[in-house]
Chains A and B, each alone.
Chain A
Amino acid sequence: QKEVEQNSGPLSVPEGAIASLNCTYSDRGSQSFFWYRQYSGKSPELIMFIYSNGDKEDGRFTAQLNKASQYVSLLIRDSQPSDSATYLCAVNNNDMRFGAGTRLTVKP
């Protein structure tokens, strides 16, 4: 079982819709959770982090964490074509592990 699992996609949503990206992790002791966006040919950039159960909102992005279910998600509201990228989930317990990423395509 992989430590951090993501659906590889591609996930395709129409412009203006909500994109929902999911991530599960195996280390129950994980303490911090991150979402990175990676455009093709570029390096990852941090877009959200969450430490506590519940929701955390930042602009069009909402991160959701459920430690009991070992599940973290990222919602992107009002999706734009510029949101088309690969989204990496990362989980940290003194040792950060990355998922393989979900490729999102937002169609105009």
Chain B
Amino acid sequence: GAVVSQHPSRVICKSGTSVKIECRSLDFQATTMFWYRQFPKKSLMLMATSNEGSKATYEQGVEKDKFLINHASLTLSTLTVTSAHPEDSSFYICSAVDGGTGNQPQHFGDGTRLSIL
């Protein structure tokens, strides 16, 4: 149980392109999902907390107009990197919690490796 699917797994695109990443909870409902970014050999960096039916909560220093998050249903959150540039190249990972935050673990998707040329 507690499977999180993330798509696509890899994206290579030109500078200026907008890229959408999907995160789905397959066998549970997730009122809260999280988006992380990770550079090589570095720790996870929380970008934002995505709440179903409301606006996402962004961490300090994360541009909300650059990284658009939509959590339209209990099983789907999307992250759109708008007008991507080479410095946006990174490993993006989503996670979801079964039944709200509380004491439950986060279950991670497989991640999306984004490369901007």
Q: Contact between B43 and A101 (Cβ–Cβ < 8 Å)?
A: yes
Known interface pairs A88-B44, A99-B43, A100-B43; A42-B111 also in contact (CB < 8 Å): yes
Give CA–CA (A7, B9) in the complex, Å.
30
Q: Contact between B107 and A46 (Cβ–Cβ < 8 Å)?
A: yes
Is A58's CB within 8 Å of the partner chain B? Answer: no
Report B1-24 residues with CB < 8 Å from chain A CB.
Answer: 6
Q: Which of B46, B93, B106 is packed against the most chain A CB atoms within 10 Å?
A: B106
A-side interface size class: 20 to 34
Is B86's CB within 8 Å of the partner chain A? Answer: no
Residues in B with CB closer than 8 Å to A96 are 101, 106
Residues in A with CB closer than 8 Å to B52 are none
With an 8 Å Cβ cutoff, the count of chain B residues facing the other chain is: 17
Q: Contact between A51 and B43 (Cβ–Cβ < 8 Å)?
A: no
Q: Which of B43, B102, B107 is packed against the most chain A CB atoms within 10 Å?
A: B43
Give CA–CA (A88, B111) in the complex, Å.
16
Report B85-100 residues with CB < 8 Å from chain A CB.
Answer: 91, 93
Q: Contact between B110 and A43 (Cβ–Cβ < 8 Å)?
A: yes
Known interface pairs A43-B93, A43-B109, A45-B108; A92-B103 also in contact (CB < 8 Å): yes
Among A43, A44, A51, A88, the residue within 8 A (CB) of B103 is: A51
Is B53's CB within 8 Å of the partner chain A? Answer: no
Enumerate chain B interface residues (CB-CB to A < 8 A): 6, 43-44, 46, 91, 93, 101-111
Enumerate chain A interface residues (CB-CB to B < 8 A): 31-32, 34, 36, 41-46, 49, 51, 88, 90, 92, 94-96, 98-101
Identify the 4 closest CB pairs spanning chains A and B, nearest first: A32-B103, A100-B43, A43-B111, A43-B108
